[in-house]
Amino acid sequence: MVGLFGGSFDPVHHGHLIVGQVAAERLELDSLRFVPAREQPFKGGSHGASPEHRAAMLDLAVAGFQALQVERAELERAGPSYTVDTLRALHAREPGVRLTLLLGADAAAELEAWHEAAEIPRLATVIVFARAGIPVPTSRLIAGTIEVPAIEISATEIRRRAREGRSLRYWVPDRVAEYVTRHRLYLDPA
């Protein structure tokens, strides 16, 4: 079974990686693929780094972890990144693969409003991350929940720190911090 964990990853940070690893272990996934969005429909294309930079940072973050991978299906398509299109593309590319779509409670709260939302559970099992103190929405589209640690790291805060010239050490993997500095990412207000 393959898990899919989508998002902006702008930039990827330790919170993303820890939650992804815990989900992979708890669900006994064969692999977990981080799926960077080209353009998230609900965010209106307001990414601080390009899709290519965000994917490159993910590559650096998961390097050496065979069970964690980067899925570029959404980067290969123009326009908004609709999950249903990604799931269809993966089924066409890998017939017979069983997919599990992993969502945070915040994303799951908007699930019913997603593009062709009713099709999503036909293409993947939808599992929501449950964190202490954050309510998990109820929806006929959600198959279940798993508990994950609450890691209070914000990509918004990381971008602010980068813009202010502060250290990103311990916020993101060292190789990601080096990449942000080398490519001068997040220096402009976003």
Residue 86's domain spans which residues?
2-182
**What's the token pair of residue 179?**
């990449």
**103 inside domain:** yes
**187 inside domain:** no
**23 inside domain:** yes
pLDDT in tens, 97-148: 999 999 999 899 999 999 999 999 999 999 999 877 778 899 999 999 999 9
Query: Considering the entire predicted model, what is its pTM?
Result: 0.93
Paired strand residues for 172: 169
Amino acid at 134: I
**190 inside domain:** no
**What total of structural domains would you count in the chain?**
1
Q: Residue 79 has what pLDDT?
A: 83
| Neighbour count for residue 118 (Cβ, 10 Å) | 11
CATH number of the domain where residue 9 is located: 3.40.50.620
**Residue 4's closest CA among 129, 147, 125, 100?**
100
For the segment 163-173, the average pLDDT, to the nearest whole number, is 96
Burial (CB count within 10 angstroms: exposed 0-12, middle 13-18, buried 19+), residue 104: middle
**120 inside domain:** yes
**32 inside domain:** yes
**pLDDT over 70 percentage in the chain:** 97
pLDDT in tens, 44-68: 557 899 999 999 999 999 999 989 9
